[in-house]
Structure 1
Amino acid sequence: MRLWIKNIVKQLQEKYNTGCPYSLATHLNIHVLQHDLHHEINGYYKYDRRNRYIVINNNLDKQMQRVVCAHELGHAVLHKRVNTPFMRNNTLLSVDKIEREANKFAAELLITDSDLFDFHEQKTIYDVATLHNVPIQLAELKYKGLFL
């Protein structure tokens, strides 16, 4: 697991008292825009002359828009000056380093450690993903990160 990413997420959550990707973007002066993007494009991050933008496909459902915002916020925080051309539908399976880091950031932001261990009844990784409205890949990343 990339502990430095986990620590950055924790610091942001504590400093701004929120785990909401939209609120964190506001606090960090990152503009979040909704746009009608091609169906294969979920969103992207853009850095332009000291301005930072997250663009999210407004055709996605609200839960997926939140996941895309968290992923792109990961780019904005971890890769500030790197423009990401777009987040395709399959980016959660990416082997590219900065995409993996942004996925890890999103997993840490959207799923807390206690969410995996606070069991009132036995939960599967699918239950965790469903409970937090995240793709199974993010729940798996979070789970694997705790033990690797």
Structure 2
Amino acid sequence: MKSIKRKVDELIKKYKTNDPYQIAKLKNIEIQHADLGNTLGFYFHDSRIKFININNNLPAEMQRFVCAHELGHAILHPRSNTPFLKKNTFFSIDKIEVEANTFAVELLLLDEAIYEYRDSNLSMYEACEMHGTPRELSHLKKI
């Protein structure tokens, strides 16, 4: 399997954006927002239709991250119906959850942004937060 970073780079190049909503739309993945209680979001497919479900009670920045994470499942694990993404999933050692988190971090936190901050006093945690990525996942960014 290609590296996740390479897959993300190819997607950004092909679609000329790193916006997970735009990429999902261009890939014909339906995005639905609903009150999901304690669940952040989830991905599933039915026949050939793919769906990303996002909790509409989350702040917009977290909804964007959840969209990126679930888009990762749609691209990396297209035949899987993923379990619900909950906040503790950020710390999951489950392979597909780590891969989806890595996908989301690579999609939202571009290398150019990291290079832009290299001569500043910003930490990787702060750079992640500035780009809508939970700081707990900063270790997943490959430079």
Shorter chain as normaliser: what TM range? over 0.9
Structure 1 distance, partners of 2:133, 2:94, is: 20
State the match for 1:127 in structure 2: 126
State the match for 1:8 in structure 2: 7
Residues 1:84 and 2:75 aligned together: no
State the match for 2:40 in structure 1: 42
Higher strand share: 1
- The 3-state SS of whatever aligns with 2:25 is helix
Residues 1:110 and 2:108 aligned together: yes
Amino acid at match of 2:10: Q
Gaps of 5+ in 2: none
- The 3-state SS of whatever aligns with 2:120 is coil
Is the 1:42–1:60 Cα contact (8 Å) retained in structure 2? Answer: yes
Pick closer, same or farther for the CA change 1:121–1:141 going to 2, 3 Å.
same
Structure 1 distance, partners of 2:114, 2:13, is: 20
The TM-score with structure 1 as length reference comes to 0.90
Is the 1:31–1:52 Cα contact (8 Å) retained in structure 2? Answer: yes
Structure 1 distance, partners of 2:139, 2:112, is: 15
Q: Per-residue displacement from partner, 1:97-119 (whole Å, max 9, x unpaired)?
A: 00000000001000011222223
Q: Percent identity?
A: 46
Structure 2 distance, partners of 1:118, 1:53, is: 35
The TM-score with structure 2 as length reference comes to 0.93
- Give the alignment partner of residue 98 of structure 2, picking from 91, 97, 100: 100
User: CA-atom RMSD, angstroms?
Assistant: 1.4
Structure 1 distance, partners of 2:126, 2:63, is: 20
For these two proteins, the number of residue pairs brought into alignment is: 142
State the match for 2:54 in structure 1: 56
- The 3-state SS of whatever aligns with 2:83 is strand
Is the 2:126–2:135 Cα contact (8 Å) retained in structure 1? Answer: no
Amino acid at match of 2:19: C
- The 3-state SS of whatever aligns with 1:85 is coil
- Give the alignment partner of residue 75 of structure 1, picking from 73, 76, 101: 73
Q: Per-residue displacement from partner, 1:24-78 (whole Å, max 9, x unpaired)?
A: 000110000001111x210000011010000000010000000000000000000
Is the 1:111–1:139 Cα contact (8 Å) retained in structure 2? Answer: no
State the match for 2:137 in structure 1: 138
Gaps of 5+ in 1: none
State the match for 1:28 in structure 2: 27
- The 3-state SS of whatever aligns with 1:37 is coil
Is the 1:106–1:138 Cα contact (8 Å) retained in structure 2? Answer: no
